[in-house]
Structure 1
Amino acid sequence: MLRGVGVAIACVASLLSPAIHAADAADSVTGAQQMILVITPDWDSTQASLRRFEQHDGKWQAVSLPHAVVIGKSGAAWGLGLHAPQPGPQKREGDGRAPAGIFSIGPAFGYASSVVTGLDYHPMTAADYCIDVSDSPLYNQIVDAGKVGAKAIAGSTEPMRRDLHAAGDQRYKLGFVIAHNALRTPGGGSCIFAHLWTNKDSTTAGCTAMAEPVMRELLAWLDPARRPVFVLLPRAEYQRLRQTWRLPDLDDPAAR
């Protein structure tokens, strides 16, 4: 577990009330005052557009221009979040797809000792790993190898200090947890983050990645007291679910 925290930040179970069920997606959106909305052209696209929204007088209003982001190398598939199960492709461990749906936003993490953000922030060390081994009791959790032991992280492909383990890789220099599969269903997909991209033509293993200025803007804006949510949908699914899930109307000038 993370030093002095007592919970694993990738699991994020402590941030989700047991009373919140998948069928409560619309209520989750209604209760949210901040939203990160990511729209892809279709299920298989690796390119997407990200916008920030805030609730004002009961209506969603855009507070940023669209920013280009990239997602999983295989596109997207329905994840395990605050929404009811949906028909279509389903997220699985190792499929290279980003989870679609509505998700809580967990703690922030990075290489620096501190960053400007209202989220809980956890600086990573060389001993921190996210466990992506489906049959591990630590599946979908970020753990300190110094506390859980080398055997417990065997097989994990997700060191959180990629700069130290992967030839200076800067992708996890800044990021935050997207609370996919918070109940840690084996094989349901793990270690889903928003993090930095390599470039605008890169892809991820299932995360959402962006330029560093966009990430810093998000981190400075996010306020846990405003119950922010992360929503990722292909455009056709956004159109199908917009009214039911009470999502921003992208055709409304006030939401642009």
Structure 2
Amino acid sequence: MIVVTTDGWDVDHGTLRTYVRDGTQWKEQGQASDVTIGRHGSAWGVGLSPPQHDGPVKKEGDGRSPAGVFRIGEAFGYAETNPTALPYRGLTASDYCVDVDGSPYYNQLVDEKKVGAAAVGGATEAMRRDLHFDGDRAYRIGFVIEHNPDGRKGAGSCIFAHLWKSPTSPTAGCTAMTDATMERLLAWLDPSKKPVFVLLPKTEYARLRDAWNLPSP
């Protein structure tokens, strides 16, 4: 389990910790790390956790990172291969994540060469950011946070863990971190152990910890 906690709904940064289950308990592994999240903070997303009724709700383009519990999907990066145990996608210049909520490919990673230029029309998430945006390194290595996996229209799309620009640079809704933290996560995550990603403001974490069987803070 990867756990990110923040000081409130509207806070754009937090702390990342990692845990493994030991019997019925969670045991922390590794060092806590600083991360940045959405520029407007966080909001309830669509994942494994039950819907909540107090607090903001994630919407497309709101600049908030989804809060809740989510499966961890495939890893990706600019290199063709990566030693991570996660399924890995070597990105090309024609790979996009579709953030246009009217598209049948909404919230999917697709290859423009396979689906056609019209299918990615209007999408802003070119995955090879180094080629499309003057050498941008954000997606050099990262992984998918499976928010809104069924592509519910307008509920938010293309949520990743990726590299940060700086400790004070928030994201459009992803969770960003140092190269060293990301490299540690990719080496540590084991898909056979069904890893999950949790993001919550501290007050919500305290409220839900027992019901959701989350690690002690």
Q: TM-score range by the shorter chain?
A: over 0.9
Instruction: State the TM-score, normalized to the length of structure 2.
Output: 0.99
**Identity, % of aligned positions:** 56
Structure 1 residue 58 displacement after superposition: 1.7
Q: Supply the distance in 2 between the matched residues of 1:225 and 1:182 (Cα, whole angstroms).
A: 19
| SS, match of residue 30 in structure 2 | coil
Matching residue of 1:17: none
Structure 1 residue 109 displacement after superposition: 0.3
| SS, match of residue 64 in structure 1 | strand
Matching residue of 2:116: 149
Q: Supply the distance in 2 between the matched residues of 1:57 and 1:130 (Cα, whole angstroms).
A: 38
Matching residue of 1:118: 85
Structure 1 residue 116 displacement after superposition: 2.0
Amino acid corresponding to residue 242 of structure 1 in structure 2: R
Instruction: State the TM-score, normalized to the length of structure 1.
Output: 0.84
Amino acid corresponding to residue 150 of structure 1 in structure 2: A
2:8 to 32, 42, 45: 42
Amino acid corresponding to residue 104 of structure 1 in structure 2: R
| SS, match of residue 66 in structure 1 | strand
2:66 to 99, 108, 115: 99
Count of residue pairs brought into register by the alignment: 216
* 4+ residue segments displaced more than 3 Å: none
Structure 1 residue 66 displacement after superposition: 1.0
Matching residue of 1:162: 129
Residues 138-157 of structure 1 show CA distances to partners (whole Å, capped at 9, x for unaligned) of 00001110111111111000
Matched, 1:189 2:156: yes
Q: Supply the distance in 2 between the matched residues of 1:179 and 1:145 (Cα, whole angstroms).
A: 21
Q: Supply the distance in 2 between the matched residues of 1:172 and 1:190 (Cα, whole angstroms).
A: 16
**Structure richer in strand, relative to its length:** 2
- List runs of 5+ in structure 1 lacking aligned partners: 1-34, 251-256
Amino acid corresponding to residue 17 of structure 2 in structure 1: R
Matching residue of 2:171: 204
Matching residue of 1:6: none
Matching residue of 1:77: 43
Matching residue of 1:254: none
Matched, 1:53 2:19: yes
* RMSD over equivalenced CA pairs, Å: 0.5
Structure 1 residue 56 displacement after superposition: 1.0
